[in-house]
Amino acid sequence: MKKDWTKDIHDRMGNYEKDAPEGLWNGICEAMPEINDYAQKREKQRKSTVIALLRTAGVAAAACIVVALALHINNTYDDNPFTAKETNVSKQGYDLAKTRQESQNTDNNYLTPSTKLTAIVSQSARRLSPAPMSSADNDNIHASKNGSISDNTVNIQEKEQQQTEKHTEKDNTAKSKQDQRNDSHPTAKSRPDNYPSTTHSDGKKHAQKASRWSISAGMAGVTGSASEPMSNRTLSDPVAGGTSEWRDSPMLGIAVLNKDKATEREYDHHLPVRMGISLAYRLNDRWSIESGVTYTHLSSETKEGTAANHITGSQRLNYVGIPLNIKYKALSHSRFSIYASAGLHTEKCVSGDLSRNYVINSDNKKYEQLTIESKPLQISVNAAAGLQYDFLHNIGIFAEPGLSYYFDDRSSLSTIYKEKPLNFSLNLGLRCTIGGK
Amino acid sequence: MPLFTFVNNKPTDEELMLKKVRDGDKTAMERLYHHHVRYLTALCSRYITNEEDIRDVMQDAFIKIFKSIDSFSFRGNGSLKAWMARITLNETLTFIRKNTHFDTVDIDRHDIDETEEDVETDGLTDDIIHQFIKELPDGYRTVFNLYVIEDKSHKEIAQMLGIKVNTSASQLHKAKAMLAKRIKQYRTTNSI
């Protein structure tokens, strides 16, 4: 039939391919200098990003060390007002006024350690890598100036974009060699190595690998509400008649001496400090799930009794936890995105100790240090909304106000979570995505 | 905030590449170029015979593609290729309109056998067919390509080239006759 041959031509020519004219791509690049400019800019950005990231990673490591040291120093400093050394029991009497003043001083000091730590972090961070950390810095300084409740989270993520790129290149070369089409000039010109294959599988692999995972290493002060500081309580006058004979059983002595007064144990809980690493997997355009590992340090001061006869102690608890969050990206427009996150955080107390000081008649009678046996599991749920601004293609700063509720861990331990189970928190930090979006 | 509205739109690889191109990623642009350039070159070279002209037209086509990529809306697999082909064809025809006269084609009437005959295309390679099409005179070739390969109607062709519908029909007729003759000749001399 007449039509057959033209139909045949239609089918064959419809899929026909021919080698590109020589120098075509170069011509296009020359005619579109904006491609080159942009490409160069991005190359520079990428390089500077890598350098900046390495710097921030180094800073984070340094900051972690600083924080750890500061915490350590802070804890040893805490003990000082009450004992000279762990084993020495001082017989020097305490002046009431002096005690009060010192306890006030130490209160102030207690309120600042978290903020002090973050100030240290921000100082060192600022020195080494100005650009990405600046917003976090300002918030840090702001917080410590106001003595406000909010604290800061710094999340730092590492990226492997170049590695992913190389991987893609390799995939493409392998695939294109496999998928040579029916070319009637197979020997005429060899295909350049970075021709993509005609199948989709390696491309898909690249897309999945590049954009779905992101990792973060964080160091933070989780916000919570501070409980009432010790200085609120008015201390009653000492009762005359105390003796120094209660050394062997100071507890009993204190109880006896305080028999007529109402005393109760007060806790002064410090803001928890949390460090963590987390990994997020992007399920699709809007949803992603995130998990990781966190370490939280809780410390509190206790006081029980009257001014002259009391037991003071400091409690330190270490928790290791696993968070599990789902994130939903609600809106995104140019460089901004708004998201919501909800999740569960399960923590286990891995170690804790309590150091106590017994004071009778303003005399330091006994000092002891105990390990806390109770190792409870602390579960909390949280929900937050976040706003993220990506100042670079794959790095952004975010602010995440949220609420967390800490369930009763049914233990005899007294923590900040028992006093205030519902916490408002504000996380501020840096988020990076591996391989770009 | 609709916290639990489930949105499930997994992007395809083409869409991902498209997004990168829109962001100005040069590597993605080059990849897009390489992915489609051979098909588009074949398309262009059906219409234009001079190599330099082909390169110029292809360059203009790609520049236009990259500059207007933002206005393209993805509609499933193959939609990007079709859109790029359309742009390339437009550039090609723009060039042709400037350089080809359709009404005056000097062909010695005696050479053309007006009656269309059946002709066998089996045994002929794609390259040979492509070559024969290129051998057609400009006007015949353009109309033949648009009608037979691009599936345009005479009305559409007339509009695209700024000619009369009748002209388009007669040009096609002559093109087919000439092509058939050429194929027959080839088969005879090569004993296919």
Cβ neighbours of B68 in A, within 8 Å: none
Contact yes or no for B26 and A39 at CB 8 A: yes
For the beta carbon of residue A124, count every other beta carbon within 10 angstroms. Answer: 17
- List all residues of chain B from 99 to 158 with a beta carbon under 8 Å from chain A: 116, 118-121, 125-127, 129-130, 133, 148-149, 151
pLDDT of chain B along its 192 residues, tens only? 333 334 445 667 888 888 888 888 888 899 999 999 999 999 999 999 999 999 999 999 999 999 999 888 888 888 899 999 999 999 999 999 888 776 644 444 444 455 666 788 888 899 999 999 999 998 899 999 999 999 999 999 999 998 889 999 999 999 999 999 999 999 888 877
Six-digit token string for A430: 């840096």
A437 neighbourhood in chain B, CB within 8 Å: 19
Q: Tell me the three state secondary structure of residue A39.
A: helix
CB contact, 8 Å: A146 with chain B?
no
Which chain B residues have a beta carbon less than 8 Å from that of A284? 7-10
**Joined tokens for residue A125:** 């961070």
What is the β-pairing status of strands A395-406 and A422-432?
Answer: antiparallel
B37 and A340 within 8 Å at the Cβ level: the answer is no
Instruction: Please state the pTM of the whole predicted model.
Output: 0.39
Rounded CA gap, A86 and B51, in Å? 91
Structure tokens at A6: 């033209």
| DSSP state, residue A149 | S
Nearest residue to A165 (alpha-carbon basis) of A211, A204, A210: A210
Q: pLDDT in tens for each of the 437 residues of chain A? A: 445 888 899 999 988 999 999 999 999 988 887 766 655 666 677 777 778 778 877 777 777 777 777 776 666 554 444 433 433 333 444 444 444 444 444 444 443 343 333 333 334 334 444 444 334 444 443 433 443 333 333 333 333 344 444 444 444 444 444 444 443 444 434 444 444 434 333 434 443 444 567 665 555 544 444 444 443 333 333 443 344 455 566 666 666 666 666 566 777 888 888 777 777 888 888 888 888 888 888 888 888 877 777 788 888 899 999 999 999 988 888 888 899 999 999 999 988 888 888 877 777 777 778 888 778 889 999 999 989 888 887 788 888 888 999 998 888 788 888 888 888 877 777 777 765 33
Q: What residue type is A259 in one-letter code?
A: K
Pairing of strands A153-156, A266-269: unpaired
CA neighbor of B12 nearest in space, from A130, A203, A148: A203
Per-residue pLDDT, B36: 93
Beta bridge partners of A215: A279
* Residue A262 pLDDT: 59
pLDDT at B35: 92
CA B45 to chain centre: 8
Count residue pairs from A and B with Cβ separation < 8 A.
138
* Beta carbons of A18 and B62 less than 8 Å apart: no
Contacts of A16 in chain B (CB under 8 A): 39, 42, 126, 130
Q: Tokens 């993805």 correspond to what residue?
A: B74
Round to the nearest angstrom and report the end-to-end CA distance of chain B.
72
Residues of B in contact with A36 (CB under 8 A): 26
- Of all residues in chain B, the one with the smallest CA distance to A393 is B23
